[in-house]
Amino acid sequence: MTFTGKTKTFCLIGHPVEHSMSPTMWNPALEDLGLDYVYIAYDVYPNQLERAVDGFRALGIRGINVTIPHKEEVIKFLDEIEPFAQKLGAINTIKNEGGYLKARNTDAEGAKKSLVDAGCDLSGKEVLLMGAGGAARAICFVLSMEVKRIVVVDIVEQKAIELANEVKEKMGAQIMGMRSNESIIKEKLQSADILINATPIGMYPKIDNTPIAKSMLHPDLFVFDAVYNPLETKLLREAAEIGCKTLGGLDMLVNQGVLAFEWWTGETPNSELMKDKIIEFLGKK
């Protein structure tokens, strides 16, 4: 890539950001389309968040992705929040229009698109969602508009209950939150059509861990693991072995990036190129 005085900037902010795959997939996609932009990751400490937002305006940074721990706190410094993201209470994508900062959440849209593209029928289905953190929150809100019922489980019971109550109130969904333990998971899996792992269990380097024992799975499940490193977690491998349809987290990562890319540039990037660059990078690691 060649940079000049005309090169414009997109970025990611979070704390930490050293592990992020976003620059790995964004810069090749920008170069592929001949767009004069560069994508950079910035480590922004929580006590510097407002100053960072002022910097977006001052420096004319055209688009900003937001990751942990800033997705909720940054909202109060922005000018316009898309209605669904306002309900969700978290954003991950900001567009700078001449200093006016608009925001939306492409995590939720990216997750839903990944499931639909993988052939997962959402209508009338029952979901067991493991985890009540940021990824679970986005998935929970967006799926609540499509599925019949969601059960959220988390090792911190109160987190699961609070998320379920909020989604029920804001989205009118059939949902309940419960403590994550073996007996509850086993019971709820019996009637579940879709199992989603939105916890970090099984993520590199602890690749031999899984949130659910293989013996508890059944072949009629669609199993989605939001973890993308490794590309196939132990959960996905064991689910495939008993006949489940499966989906890893890489498509969700790429899809949320594609949606942001289109919003910021008006161009559609090569999603396969973005995916290949991440796979290549993870292979080198």
Tens place of pLDDT per residue across the chain (285 aa) = 788 999 999 999 999 999 899 999 999 999 999 999 999 999 999 999 999 999 999 999 999 999 989 999 999 999 999 999 999 999 999 999 999 999 999 999 999 999 999 999 999 999 999 999 888 999 999 999 999 999 999 999 999 999 999 999 999 999 999 999 999 999 999 999 999 999 999 998 899 999 999 999 999 999 999 999 999 999 999 999 999 999 999 999 999 999 999 999 999 999 999 999 999 998 865
Q: Is residue 259 part of a domain?
A: no
In angstroms, the CA 236 to CA 223 distance is: 7
Residues 55 and 29 in one domain: yes
**For the chain, how many structural domains are there in total?**
2
| Residue finishing a domain among 62, 82, 104 | 104
Quickly count: other Cβ atoms within 10 Å of residue 58's Cβ. 9
| Residue finishing a domain among 61, 78, 104 | 104
Residues 98 and 121 in one domain: no
What was the pLDDT predicted at 120? Answer: 96
| Domain enclosing residue 209, as ranges | 108-248
Q: Is residue 282 part of a domain?
A: no
Residues 140 and 22 in one domain: no
Residues 230 and 133 in one domain: yes
Cβ atoms of residues 192 and 164 within 8 Å: no
Residues 119 and 225 in one domain: yes
Residues 208 and 86 in one domain: no
In degrees, rounded to 5, the angle at the alpha carbon of residue 27 between the alpha carbons of residues 25 and 33 is 105
> In the annotation, is 71 catalytic?
yes
Q: pTM for the full model? A: 0.90
Q: Is the dihedral of CA 180, 182, 188, 191 positive or negative?
A: positive
Q: Is residue 52 part of a domain?
A: yes
Q: Is residue 184 part of a domain?
A: yes
Residues 244 and 112 in one domain: yes
- Find the CATH number of the domain harbouring 134: 3.40.50.720
Residues 221 and 95 in one domain: no
- Find the CATH number of the domain harbouring 16: 3.40.50.10860
Unique residue bearing structure tokens 């000018």: 79
Token duo for residue 128: 């067991």
Active-site choice (6, 8, 71, 168): 71
Q: Is residue 3 part of a domain?
A: no
Burial of 211 (0-12, 13-18, 19+ CB in 10 A): buried
